[in-house]
Amino acid sequence: MSESTGSEGRRFPAPEQLAASANVGPDVYEQAEADRLAFWETAARRLDWSREWDEVLDWTNPPFAKWFVGGKLNVAYNCLDRHVEAGHGDQVAYHWEGEPGDTRTITYAQLTEEVCKAANALVELGVNAGDRVAIYMPMIPETVIAMLACARIGAVHMVVFGGFSADALASRLDDSGAVLVITSDGGYRRGAPSALKPAVDDAVGRSPGVRNVVVVRRTEQDVEWTEGRDLWWHDVVDRQSPQHTPEAFDAEHPLYIMYTSGTTAKPKGILHTSGGYLTQVAYTHWATFDLKPDTDVYWTAADVGWVTGHSYIVYGPLANRATSVMYEGTPETPHRGRWFELIEKYRVSILYTAPTVIRTFMKWGEDIPAGFDLSSLRLLGSVGEPINPEAWLWYHRNIGGERCPIVDTWWQTETGAHMITPLPGVTSLVPGSAQHPFPGISARVVDDEGNELTNDSTGLLVLTEPWPAMLRTIWGDDDRYVDTYWSRFGKNVYFAGDGAKKDADGNIWLLGRVDDVMNVSGHRISTTEVESSLVGHPTVAEAAVVGASDPTTGQGIVAFVILRGNAEDSGEELVQTLRNHVARDIGPIAKPRQIMVVQELPKTRSGKIMRRLLRDIAENRELGDVTTLTDSSVMNLIKDKLPAAS
């Protein structure tokens, strides 16, 4: 058995009380099995539609799906007004906490008013249904308000994570054709204000399609101002009417675009639409987390700038009338117990986070969580990469007090919502495995020919039926959508890009990406994107990048570069220059952990770089098979350059 499946065969059955009280029981699997479309139809009825659909799924033109055909709804109305109308206006939607310790409590009634005002402001600025609006923000309430304001008027939001560079923002503005950018002066990170507006100024300067930039005041940093283009949020939003009549949009009306790394240097704009997305996001949030809106305090500790934030900070929780915690900053500011302090303060009952964070907490030591009252927690979740059994068990013991089930949820930006996960009141948990397809989802492990594999053979994960929250296309590039996801095994089978295996008990184990995409701290970064940034530097002739396993971040970025003839190898200084160059190009998350200057790269006779061998080196392993190399002495040359193995 591989290390990732070595959970000593331990099983954690659903606690009896939870099994009795959970939102869903074992029968959901049977219902979905008996009639998959009827199952999703029932899930869709948890929402408020202004026109019922005529057909649940139109799959006559695969892989282009239409869900809830003919149905009409307003996503923001479903997240806000309907709860207020039902008498829950005073319920807290968000307990927001800024990194410096400032707080805001926002009820459903207040959030509805703020969203209406922002929607009116967007209309005043000439934003129409279908227009793209970029949001480049820290983790503040206005980020959520801006997203919902777009949804309310049918504009398509395109949130760019605040950690991305001006270049990354510029290419996304261009590709999406954004007409407006919503940003802030900055946000707080690691105890200091971190500016956002300069990157927007840089990016918008290159994007003639952007008419206005709306700026939220958060840090009060000085900002450059372009008259006629830039507007303060408080000037345009605050004076608006808190009333706005939501228009119902088609179920397939675009809701948002979220860019994610693929195997080429150009990120893919993943398009999500309205009815199916909200249906699956709301239903999974309710079932996977057993959300009880009257009593739970729910916290997805992730950034709104990623799909996890879209689906499980914003749309799922709000559609379910959850009370959520939202935190602006980093876990170690001002001290390493900050998250636990927040759990204690707000009596958080459900916590959803990533394995990389758990491993960081492990490194800091169990004394830190032990110093806080975490007894309010009843359920834990994990997402972003496989959670190794050791981290699972640590999370279970030191944060969950050995009483909280952990749901390990596998999904992707493209899938929009949970796809493979245990159900907390049903599944007997197996640490390290995401276990079973969600009811109504068909996932399989197959070999290269598409034959199903069971009994622990390693293969590829595929999804064999369309699902409501699936991506509809890659923005502006239907061909790439078909090629990337729906061509390896034909137009009816979605290729996820993950390796997987299914054990004899039917548990699915995710084994990481099989393409040239790295997973660093749960964030997807393409090797090609980092390579093309490196060769963009005047000193670099050629670059090869691999993801090497890293005890904390899952994978770390390791780059091998060949310098240009006239470039001088100044050692550590050059390495720092190149690391900073990549951070500036793509964003700090893409900064290589290690850069090695080499004379040659190992290549096959057809000229393909053998990353497998570079990965062996980066992970300090014995070299694998080198016989297909043009020149096997290349590897010795590279090894000679290595720092002594640590």
Closest CA to 234 of 80, 70, 121, 152: 121
Give the whole-angstrom CA distance, residue 184 versus residue 221.
10
Of the listed pieces 168-176, 373-381, 469-477, 490-498, which binds ligand WT7 according to CB under 6 A?
490-498
Considering the rule CB under 6 A, would residue 383 count as an interface residue with ligand WT7?
yes
Amino acid 341 reads E
By CB under 6 A, tell whether 353 contacts ligand WT7. no
Is 519 one of the binding residues for ligand WT7 (CB under 6 A)? yes
Size of the site for ligand WT7 (CB under 6 A): 22
Alpha-carbon distance 128 to 247, whole Å? 12
- Give the rounded distance of the alpha carbon of 172 from its chain centre: 17
State the pairing for strand pair 92-97/72-73: unpaired
Query: In this complex, which beta carbon is closest to ligand WT7, that of residue 4 or of residue 330?
Result: 4
Residue 7 as a binder of ligand WT7 (CB under 6 A): the answer is: no
Q: With CB under 6 A as the contact rule, which of the stretches 177-185, 209-217, 274-282, 405-413 interacts with ligand WT7? A: 405-413
Q: Which of 386, 416, 432, 587 binds ligand WT7 (CB under 6 A)?
A: 386
Nearer CB in complex with ligand WT7: 74/555: 555
CB of 524 to ligand WT7, least distance (A): 4
Q: Does 526 bind ligand WT7 (CB under 6 A)?
A: no
Strands, sheet with 406-408, edge to edge from the N-terminal-most edge strand:
103-107, 92-97, 323-327, 297-300, 350-353, 379-382, 406-408
Beta strands, E only, 360-466: 379-382, 406-408, 443-446, 458-463
- The alpha carbon torsion through 535, 541, 547, 551 (nearest 10 deg) reads -100
Pick between residue 496 and residue 618 the one whose CB is nearest to ligand WT7: 496
Both tokens assigned to 251: 């179920």
* Residue 508 Cβ vs ligand WT7, minimum distance, rounded to whole Å: 9
CB closer to ligand WT7 out of 97 and 408 = 408
Residues in 11-50 that interact with ligand WT7 by CB under 6 A: none
Task: Give the Cβ contact number of residue 76 at 10 Å.
Answer: 25
Fill in the per-residue mask, 412 to 431: x = in contact with ligand WT7 (CB under 6 A), - = not in contact.
xx------------------
Identify which of residues 185 and 408 has a Cβ nearer to ligand WT7 in the complex: 408
Question: How far apart are the C-alpha atoms of 161 and 171, rounded to whole Å?
Answer: 13
Please identify, using beta-carbon distances, which residue of 169 and 383 lies nearer to ligand WT7: 383
- State which residue, 84 or 278, has the beta carbon closest to ligand WT7: 278
Stretch near ligand WT7 under the rule CB under 6 A, chosen from 22-30, 156-164, 451-459, 495-503: 495-503
Contact between 272 and ligand WT7 per CB under 6 A: no
Check binding of 308 to ligand WT7 (CB under 6 A): yes
As given in the structure block, the two tokens for residue 519 are 């997973």
Does 310 sit near ligand WT7 (CB under 6 A)? Answer: no
- How far is it, in rounded angstroms, from Cα 459 to Cα 498? 9
Of the residues 121, 127, 434, 610, which one makes contact with ligand WT7 according to CB under 6 A: 434
The Cα 244–Cα 261 span in angstroms is 37
Query: In the bound complex, what is the minimum distance in angstroms from residue 352's beta carbon to ligand WT7?
Result: 10
Q: Which of 388, 365, 357, 389 shows the shortest CA–CA distance to 552? A: 357
- Bridge pairing between strands 323-327 and 297-300: parallel
- 408 contributes a contact to ligand WT7 by CB under 6 A: yes
What is the crossing angle of helices 108-124 and 141-153, to 10°? 60
Tell me which residues in 203-262 interact with ligand WT7 (CB under 6 A). 260
Residue 98 makes contact with ligand WT7 by CB under 6 A: no
Q: Copy the structure tokens of residue 412.
A: 């992707």
Contact indicator for 592, 576 with CB cutoff of 8 Å: no
Nearer to ligand WT7, 144 or 496 (CB): 496
510 binds ligand WT7 (CB under 6 A): yes
d(CA 70, CA 80): 23
Binding residues for ligand WT7, rule: CB under 6 A, are: 260, 307-308, 383-386, 408-413, 434, 496-498, 510, 513, 519, 522, 524
